Every structure is written in C-alpha cells, then in structure tokens.
Amino acid sequence: MTRVVIIGGGIIGLSAAWELHLRGASVIVLDARTAGMAASAANAGYIATSLPGPVPTPGLVRTSMKWMMDPESPLYIRPRANRQFLTWLYQFWRACNSSAYDAGLEASATLLQGTNAVMQGWRDAGIAFEMHDFGRLTAYQQQSVMEKDLAAYDKMAVFGHQRPEAMHGEVLHEFEPALSREITAAYYMKGERTVEPISLVKGLIASLERVGVDIRNGSPVVDIIHSGNRVVSVRTPTEQIDADHVLIAAGAWSGEIGKLVGARLPIQGGKGYALDFDAAQGKPQRSISLRDAKVAVTPFNGGLRLSGTMELTGLSDDLNMRRIAAIHSAGKRFLNLVPDEPTHIRSGMRPMAPDGLPVLGRVGRFSNLTVATGHSMLGVTMAAVSAKHMAELITTGEAPEVLAPFSADRFRGIL
C-alpha cells in the first residue's frame, strides 16, 4: 500500500486524501493549524463551472493601477520592495491579455468537466455537506456592462454551457426580490451549484477519519528529506514521517514548502474576506454575484454570507476593517434587509500563481513529489476534479493529459 503524506489540510488536500483513499493509498494529512479552517472556510462556496476564467484579464493592468490607490477597491496590491513578489507581479500583468486569458479559460473548462459527477459521488459515498442547485444570478447596475460580459459565454458553448438568460426591470425584481432597485439587469446561470464550504470540509474530515485517514492538526512541516530524485520523509517539530509519496497542497504557503527542496513555486497569497449574517428573512432565493462591487452573496441554511476582495499584501492574518466594511456596505446597497452587524468575520489566503491557473503535477526532478495549489478563486470549484486527476498521477505514475497546462514546469526560468 502506497503511503502518501499530504502537506496541507485545506479543501485541496482533503479532497486529494479522499480520492487517494479510493485508490487504495494509505494517507496522512499534515496541517500547520486546523484542517479546513483557513481559505477553505472563508469563501462563497460557488461551484463556478460555467465561466472559470483566470484572475488576470484583458484590461486589468490599467484597472489595478487605479485600484491600488483605493483602500476599498476589490483588488489591492501593496507595493513592496521584494524581488520575488515584483517578479510575480510582472508575470501577473503580462498575463492580462486576451490570448493568455482564452487559453486559461479553455484549460480550466476542460479540467472542470465532470465536476458535478465527482461531487455527487462523494455524497453517494456518505460525505455529508450542504449543497444547493438553485443557480447563480450575476447582477448589474447597467445593462450595457452586462451585455458585454455575456459575450464571453460564447466561448463556452463547446463545453456545453449556453449563453445564460438575461433579465431586466420588474421581471428581474419579481424573480429575485432581495435585489435593491439600484440593480437594473442580471443574467441567471440555472445549473450552477453552491456548497456551504465549512460543511464541505467538515464532511470530508469526518468521512476521512471514518475510513482511517490520519489527519494531524498543529503539524507544520519544517523539512522534506530526500535522496537523489526521491523524497523519503517529511519532518515536523515533533516527528519524522516516512513517505512513498509527498503531495504539497499547502495553499498560499506552498511556495514556502517548495523551498525546502529547492523548488521555485511562484505562489502569492490573495487575501479575501467572508462576512456571515443571521438572516431569517429577506435572504436571496439563490446565489448572487454583485458585478459592480465584486461581492459574492450566498444564502445558506443557517444564514447569509457576503464575501469578496483580493489583497496581495503578503502572508498575513491581519484584518483590514475598511475593506471588510466595503463588502458590508455593498451588500446593504445592492440587497434588501442585510443585517447591520455580521455574526462572524473570516479571512483566507487564496493561493495565486502569476497566470491565475492552478499548479498541478510533479515538482522539479523528484519522481515522488507533487504539488496541487494555485487554484486562486476557484479552490472549491476545482477541488474535486483536481483531486481525482492528482490521485491518478500519484497512484499510477502517469499524468492525465488534462493536467498538462497546469504543470509547474511552465515557470522554469521565470524566477
């Protein structure tokens, strides 16, 4: 039985642990803090398969320069004299063009085929989590902006996604009464699913522990021991663990883990926030993306969540209360009956590669060291299929063709 040590207990690491268990591997998951309670718990919970484009988009360079001067903007980049970060930022801006975006969209859409089937398989196997199929509404102040965005869906027809239904005026407000009158237009993606992310990670943890997967919290990895082109063990402050294979799935910290074996994984942390509210009345009937404010609105069984922002400010747990207030303000402006105070504020560091795409595959010269990180704003969306393909690579030694665009080798010579 292959013994796999997974470094990182977020949604990617936990998903990989389950898929590896299904293939007969013995799995140990090491998390520096508490499994599932970082970025995996602080997101909108969208399974956004219909238009999974990367964060770098055409025109974002000019917009991001303007946003850098606004502490309440959806994207904030803290200038800092760090060579590694400046190199990453330069590559990020280089990726803000149509050809890179289209290639990334195609690769991501291809990877995501079969997502719903894999997640349904999890539920059928007894993994319990909250999931809704009430679709997602993308809401706009101006119809002209919506029409421009809708054109992007023409590229998704080959993947079975049709241009979504557009609505305006009274028809829209009858369809979703939670929207304020500042919203004049929206389009509706009927097939989009939503999960409550904390229930998902807790469901995975419960099922993994039930089948004997060893999840160790408070176990930061301080070294990876290797001999030649193979890793042989990992070391924490308290123990050394032998491994037949090691998977780095440490989210925004994956780049730091890679340094332990001399690997250069250009991953930056993009901090986001989630505000939870008790909202028994006036909750939306479906998930809503507030396009102008770039705020995600998610109704769960236990309340309402507003989430958003992207802060490239380094690996930090600090809370920027001004940016949190901007998310809350957008909710109160564009929705009816958002409570005055959140019951809980969460933050998480999304792992960001400079081209906005995941990093999936082997690491450097090592035959038994792989990485699964860089899922940006699509961690929950991509977790199931990333785990499925990574488990195939780890247990068979053969990389599925669908992983080719996400190889870590694409960064050779950049850093």
pLDDT of residue 328: 96
What is the per-residue pLDDT for 68? 73
**pLDDT classification of 74: cutoffs 50, 70, 90:** confident
- Model confidence over 32-51: pLDDT tens digits? 999 999 999 999 999 999 99
Residue 350: which pLDDT band, with cuts at 50, 70 and 90? Answer: very high
How much is the average pLDDT of 152-159? 91
Q: Write out the two tokens for 80.
A: 């800092």
The pLDDT of residue 313 is 87
User: 82 pLDDT exceeds 90?
Assistant: no
Confidence of residue 415 (pLDDT cuts 50, 70, 90): very low
Task: Name the most confidently modeled range: 38-42, 58-62, 152-156.
Answer: 38-42
Residue 414 above 60 pLDDT? Answer: no
Instruction: Indicate the Cα dihedral angle 335, 336, 337, 342, nearest 10°.
Output: 10
Task: Output the 3-class SS for the chain.
Answer: CCEEEEECCCHHHHHHHHHHHHCCCEEEEECCCCCCCCHHHCCCCEECCCCCCCCCCCCHHHHHHHHCCCCCCCEEECCCCCHHHHHHHHHHHHCCCHHHHHHHHHHHHHHHCCHHHHHHHHHHCCCCCCEECCCEEEEECCHHHHHHHHHHHHHHHHHCCCCCEEEEHHHHHHHCCCECCCCCEEEEECCCEEECHHHHHHHHHHHHHHCCCEEECCCCCCEEEEECCEEEEEECCCCEEECCEEEECCHHHHHHHHHHHCCCCCCEEEEEEEEEECCCCCCCCCEEEECCCCEEEEEECCEEEEEEEEEECCCCCCCCHHHHHHHHHHHHHHECCCCCCCCEEEEEEEEECCCCCCEEEECCCCCCEEEEECCHHHHHHHHHHHHHHHHHHHHHCCCCHHHHHHCHHHHCCCC
The torsion defined by the Cα of 117, 208, 316 and 320, in degrees rounded to 10, comes to 60
Question: Of the candidates 81, 2, 78, 84, which has an alpha carbon nearest to the alpha carbon of residue 313?
Answer: 78
Range of weakest confidence among 2-16, 60-74, 115-129, 134-148 = 60-74
Q: How far apart are CA 204 and CA 36, in angstroms?
A: 9
* Residue appearing with tokens 């400079």: 354
User: Within the chain, what is the greatest distance between any pair of CA atoms?
Assistant: 67
Amino acid symbol at 113: Q
Q: What is the pLDDT of residue 413?
A: 59
How high is the mean pLDDT of the chain? 94
Identify residue 143 by its one-letter amino acid code. Q
Q: Confidence class of residue 72 from pLDDT cuts 50, 70 and 90?
A: confident
Confidence of residue 70 (pLDDT cuts 50, 70, 90): confident
Mean pLDDT of 268-294: 92
Place of tokens 């997974």: 6
188-238 tens-digit pLDDT = 999 899 999 999 999 999 999 999 999 999 999 999 999 999 999 999 999
- With beta carbons less than 8 A apart as the criterion, state whether 29 and 17 touch: yes
Count of all residues that appear for the chain in the document: 415
For residues 222-238, b (16+ Cβ closer than 10 Å) or e, as one string?
eebbbeeeebebbebee
The pLDDT > 70 percentage for the chain reads 99
pLDDT at 1 (0 to 100): 77
pLDDT surpassing 50 at residue 112: yes
Q: How far apart are CA 329 and CA 169, in angstroms?
A: 23
Say what the pLDDT of residue 338 is.
87
Query: Is 158 in contact with 309 (CB distance < 8 Å)?
Result: no
Say if strands 230-235 and 240-242 run parallel, antiparallel, or are unpaired. Answer: antiparallel
C-alpha to C-alpha distance for 159 and 135, rounded to whole angstroms: 18
Mean pLDDT of 55-63: 89
Q: Say if residues 374 and 348 touch (Cβ distance below 8 Å).
A: no
- Range with the poorest average pLDDT among 68-77, 279-288, 311-320, 389-398: 68-77
310 close to 75: Cβ distance less than 8 angstroms: yes
Which residue is associated with the tokens 């305006």? 168
Closest-CA residue to 224 (of 352, 361, 368) = 368
pLDDT digit string (tens) for 161-182? 889 989 999 999 999 999 999 9
Is residue 412 predicted with pLDDT exceeding 90? no
Give the pLDDT band (50/70/90) at residue 67: confident
The predicted structure's pLDDT at residue 280: 65
Note if the pTM is more than 0.95: yes
Instruction: Output the CATH code of domain 3-411.
Output: 3.50.50.60
pLDDT for the residue numbered 66: 79
